[in-house]
Structure 1
Amino acid sequence: MSDAVYFQPLAAAEISLEIKKSRFIASALPVSTELAARQFIQQHKILTPSAHHHCSAYIIGAPALSQQFGYNDDGEPAGTAGKPMYQVLHGQKIGDICVVVTRFFGGVKLGTGGLARAYADSTKQVISQLALQQVSPTCTLKLHYAYSQSATIDALLHNANISRLDSDYTESVTLSIRLPVGDVDALIVDLKQRTSGDIKIEKLP
């Protein structure tokens, strides 16, 4: 599976479990922005102010490629909550998600290893309840080239996994195509090689 391919949740889920008298409530929500993730975390803090901790982790987009992610221990010993939660999401290639694990302390200390396992297990259990869909992110390329390159480029694109979006034929050719993110770099290399660099390529979201 390409690093760009991942799974995203279709709906929210929540589970509750008890570990050595502490109650852990894990809630997962599909999110598409960091703002939505932060709002979800804050909402839990407001709804359950009597809880001792609201630990969290979120990833926006493909976990292997995303630069939009975060995790927080919310008062638990450093590295024992948010990071283990994040590692579960990343390891299972789940993105566009925020998980909050709310803990009501029951009086028995779990130790750092026990805490890490508890938060990781809570995350695993809640995502096991999620309906997931596979996502293959795409990217748009806008190509600008001379008419003399048309046959070469058409032949190359004919065998590529692309969708043609629109084209403009004026003094030169402008063609917009959409393709999986994982195929972009290789196609750009092929286009430049086949045209001896006589092409302008714009990468769009």
Structure 2
Amino acid sequence: MSDAVYFQPLAAAETSLEIKKSRFIASALPVKSELAARQFIQYHKTLTPSAHHHCSAYIIGAPALSQQFAYNDDGEPAGTAGKPMYQVLYGQNVGDICVVVTRFFGGVKLGTGGLARAYADCTKAVMEQLSLQQVLPSCELKLTYAYTHSAAIDALLHNANISILNSNYAEAITLCVRLPVTEVDSLITDLNQRTSGEINIKKQP
């Protein structure tokens, strides 16, 4: 399958673990933007200001392709918290997600290896609580055509697996639609046949 196929959470989840007297609370939230992820992280810092650390990781979009991701150790030794959390998300191919692990230090030091295992285990634990759905790669098309073709195209699009993102009715009709990449070639062929090629089709970046 394509690297762009991935899984996303359907709802928030939370779980807690106690590891060598430290309490870890792992919280996960579906997010569609880096802003939403940062707001979720800040929410937990505000919610439990007495906690010693609020470590985090998020990925927006398909993990294998995403350029919108980040992780943060929030005061833990470098590389012992945020990155292990991120690696769990990446390894399970889950995107559109933010995970925050809040730690209340219990007085027993875990060492760098112990910390990395603890944060990874907490992330795995909250992931087990999530309901996930598969996300297939999609493509946007911009369609421009004359009103004389509207009935035929409306009927074709009605039976296709598409979402209409926006529309503009001026001298001609312009629709922006999104559909699975696996169905793009078939739809383009059908559109050209229905309009005898009298349609402008552009793939959007």
**Taking structure 2 as the reference length, what is the TM-score of the superposition?**
0.74
| Counterpart in the other structure of 2:32 | 32
| Counterpart in the other structure of 2:93 | 93
- 1:27-79 Cα deviation digits (max 9, x unpaired): 00111111010000001001101100000000111111111111100000111
- 1:108-143 Cα deviation digits (max 9, x unpaired): 111111100000000000010001111113112347
Q: 1:141 to 1:40 in 2, by over 3 A?
A: same
| Counterpart in the other structure of 1:203 | 203
How many residue pairs are counted as aligned between the two chains? 184
- Whether contact under 8 Å (1:28, 1:98) holds in the other structure is yes
Distance 2:103 2:163 in 1: 50
Q: Which amino acid aligns with 1:30?
A: P
Q: Which amino acid aligns with 2:39?
A: Q
- Whether contact under 8 Å (1:4, 1:182) holds in the other structure is no
SS in 1 for 2:79: coil
Distance 1:51 1:34 in 2: 23
- Whether contact under 8 Å (2:81, 2:115) holds in the other structure is yes
RMSD: 3.5
- Whether contact under 8 Å (2:163, 2:179) holds in the other structure is no
Q: Which consecutive unaligned segments of at least 5 residues does structure 2 have?
A: 145-159, 165-173, 190-199
| Counterpart in the other structure of 2:119 | 119
Q: Which amino acid aligns with 2:17?
A: L
Q: 1:176 to 1:103 in 2, by over 3 A?
A: closer
Q: Which amino acid aligns with 1:18?
A: E
Q: 1:143 to 1:54 in 2, by over 3 A?
A: same
SS in 2 for 1:100: strand
Distance 1:102 1:59 in 2: 18
* Sequence identity (%): 81
Name the stretch that deviates more: 97-106 or 133-142.
133-142
Q: Which consecutive unaligned segments of at least 5 residues does structure 1 have?
A: 145-160, 166-173, 192-199
| Counterpart in the other structure of 1:60 | 60
SS in 1 for 2:113: helix
* Residue 204 of structure 1: how far off its partner (Å): 1.7
Question: After the TM superposition, which residues 119-198 of structure 1 pair with which residues of structure 2 at under 5 Å, given as runs?
Answer: 119-142=119-142, 178-181=178-181
- Whether contact under 8 Å (1:4, 1:181) holds in the other structure is no
* Residue 76 of structure 2 corresponds to residue 76 of structure 1: yes
